Structure 1
């Protein structure tokens, strides 16, 4: 299926074989490739605004429904959601599309997967844009162990979601998707937005509006439809598999991301406020990502910067891409050759 608008490069939607499994991808434009990875609860359409901007600027934008989401491969086993599997999916997408290298853009769990990909396959991934999740190298304790050590084992939101029936709280999708979009964003009044350690300010409270003003209604309807088809159980396996990834990454303990990187976060994001209550500086984050070029703090924005500040995020991505040194030219096309 091709979708185009005016002179904008058409959006190609298709199923491809990735390491023997079906994955749905969105593909737009030609040139050096930017591969987009989404988080929970989301689907590939979350990136349509950035994809259009990237494609119009002479790049190839590719987004996938990540493993466990939408129309992509969704095994039920938690063990199949470790970083070795999800990073393997990103590598497999490049293989299936005959792409030799890419810059990764990830949000939420998609940022976590993209960060592991930068460490595991520096030969393929030239740069990284992380939204909402800063990179932390593999340390001495897993995320969940550290949270429990910090006394958050009974209050941190994810522990409830990781229970075997945690997905039931997200049903029906027609209610939970609008709620998550609104409460996790910067739209609620101060003190009313999502708080990851206060259940009274959870993400699944009924939203006061059907669709936030900053959200594209078409994207929201497609996201709801995707989860009505797939459910939420397999998407939550990213949380459940986190400790498995921690064990698998033992050989990469302390390994930083050395490729160029950019971190974008919303000042009203409850998750960001928890993990860095004081705004992080470039110098602080370079301890784990020496190639970090900038930290972009978006005022009045919550957990959905790709929607709440869509044009700004696209502009930051394009500025970042302009500084990437691409190693291969076989998949760039004539237009990108002239850019270099």
Structure 2
């Protein structure tokens, strides 16, 4: 049975969901999600013979949300996972991440190959450190309305999202990145969430009770912590300079939905094409037809089968 608790690691507290015995598997969620996003994976992977731990990541849900923007760098996020492995009494783990959790997983494998012996990323390809700071590169190319840019100024996105949390969460999970026609560019004078968000119908993979859990947690936590991850994008480019051109040599897996706008945008599309350069030991690249961005919730059977097959190969 799944259990929950809170542990102190890396100067903060992380809320955990955990189940099972065996090799350790960490599940890192993305934005705007929670450990609950892995509800279909935790039991399935545990029943396959693994110890599964899914935290609410730093800044999310019932975990700590430090105030300074600088507390959300990629070093802090990976540091949380390193400290969590130690707190769990383990010396090795397989790390799996979705959305923003995928860069955490990829960088964890890059920074600490001694600790993270295999890695899987969902929806976001592995990092390929470009020639300049990402936000600066966007501006230099004349782009001013990409959603990353909208999230930069503290208080702007928070104000929009927290005005009606229920409509925001529904808009994110039922529209937003779930919609293959959704643009990640924000028209001038418009917010990120569409005006019709409150009335969007639920997709067949999401129940009202499940949506209600996300809404309840975000009403308590707000959105600032997760948005601060985006406010470190250029800083992370600076911090990762020592890993320019580095590869992740551990066994790896990539899964995404064919209809995910995140892998079809120009920047991620380049990373998708260059994946083999970063992952010389890529075991499988699975693109699931008919699926969007919330891949592990939309297609749990396919995702679980791929993850369990991968885990059995690498442990």
Q: TM-score, normalised by structure 2?
A: 0.92
Map 1:1-340 → 2, pairs under 5 A: 10-152=1-143, 154-165=144-155, 166-171=157-162, 172-184=164-176, 186=178, 188=179, 193-199=181-187, 204-205=193-194, 206-207=196-197, 208-274=199-265, 275=267, 280=272, 284-324=274-314, 326=315
Which runs of at least 4 in structure 1 moved beyond 4 Å after TM superposition?
Answer: 200-203, 276-281
Is the helix fraction higher in 1 or 2? Answer: 2
Task: Report deviation, 1:216.
Answer: 3.8
Task: Report deviation, 1:272.
Answer: 1.1
Q: Deviations over 1:213-263 (max 9, x none)?
A: 211434322211111111001210000012222111111111111111111
Which runs of 5 or more structure 2 residues have no equivalent in the other structure? Answer: none
RMSD: 2.0
Structure 1 pair 155–41 and aligned structure 2 pair: CA distance change class (3 A): same
Does the Cα contact within 8 Å between 2:251 and 2:281 map onto a contact in 1? Answer: yes
Q: Deviations over 1:146-203 (max 9, x none)?
A: 3223332x121121122212211112221111110111355x5x6xx32112539975
Distance, in Å, in 2 between the alignment partners of 1:143 and 1:102 is 30
Does the Cα contact within 8 Å between 1:36 and 1:64 map onto a contact in 2? Answer: yes
Does the Cα contact within 8 Å between 1:184 and 1:269 map onto a contact in 2? Answer: no
Name the SS of the counterpart of 1:31 in structure 2: coil
Distance, in Å, in 2 between the alignment partners of 1:53 and 1:129 is 16
Does the Cα contact within 8 Å between 2:125 and 2:272 map onto a contact in 1? Answer: no
Structure 1 pair 299–235 and aligned structure 2 pair: CA distance change class (3 A): same
Task: Report deviation, 1:23.
Answer: 1.0
Name the SS of the counterpart of 1:235 in structure 2: helix
Name the SS of the counterpart of 2:127 in structure 1: coil
Task: Report deviation, 1:278.
Answer: 8.6
Task: Report deviation, 1:140.
Answer: 2.2
Q: Which of 271-280 and 43-52 deviates more?
A: 271-280
Q: TM-score, normalised by structure 1?
A: 0.86
Does the Cα contact within 8 Å between 2:186 and 2:192 map onto a contact in 1? Answer: no
